[in-house]
Structure 1
């Protein structure tokens, strides 16, 4: 069975190649170990999984697809306004929306990473 090719280390300017699935070479792995907390440390624990399941039972369709006239099953509970660690905003159900993975990835890859500031 052929293996996937090695990929470049993600550290800026590093020419080293690493196995597919790894992000950094051995030299830079230590530097980037704490870049992001684990999901459970960010609040996505068993309590979140229960709240998520309950919300998806009540709101089973993707709201973005529904706006376009399509009926697509929602698989993700998205925070409309990114909580950025604010626990009050994290648990505020009025800040939840049901999305399919495609719509969620599209939203988080654009609006959440590059917020639009209004003055």
Structure 2
């Protein structure tokens, strides 16, 4: 039975790019809570989304989309001063956070 499940999972994963953990990353050995994304963050995130409910990237393109992610416009890489600087928080929809923002960060063009 377990072998069938593994084969099914492998079949689903075929052709998809697998993410490999970067051992040199600041977050490689930390849980999400250890990286700052615990209860305090969840409360701050909810408050930010109440105050800024629309995706900033969609808005600049003339679209109205509900934001579901609070992104750090400056990658904090574990720096808690940057992490908690509300001036750097940006509301994004999941699609923009997973596509546009990731491309910007890879090109080192982050910031609105």
Question: What is the TM-score normalised by the length of structure 1?
Answer: 0.67
- Higher relative contact order by CA 8 Å / sep ≥ 6: 1 or 2? 2
Query: Which residue in the other structure is 1:6 paired with?
Result: 10
- 2:104 and 2:19 mapped to 1: Cα distance? 25
Say yes or no: does 1:69 pair with 2:62: yes
Aligned-pair distance for 1:109? 2.5
Distance 1:81 1:5, change over 3 A: same
State which structure, 1 or 2, has the greater radius of gyration over its C-alpha atoms: 1
Q: What is the CA deviation profile of residues 28-74 of structure 1, one whole-angstrom value per residue up to 9, with x for unaligned ones?
A: xxx9xx93421101000000000000000000000000111110000
- 2:102 and 2:19 mapped to 1: Cα distance? 19
Query: Which residue in the other structure is 2:39 paired with?
Result: 46
1:98 to 91, 94, 112: 91
Query: Which residue in the other structure is 1:80 paired with?
Result: 73
Question: What is the TM-score normalised by the length of structure 2?
Answer: 0.71
Unaligned 5+ runs, structure 2:
12-17
Distance 1:108 1:66, change over 3 A: closer
**How large is the Cα RMSD of the aligned pairs?**
2.6
SS in 2 for 1:77: strand
Number of equivalent positions: 93
Unaligned 5+ runs, structure 1:
8-21, 25-30
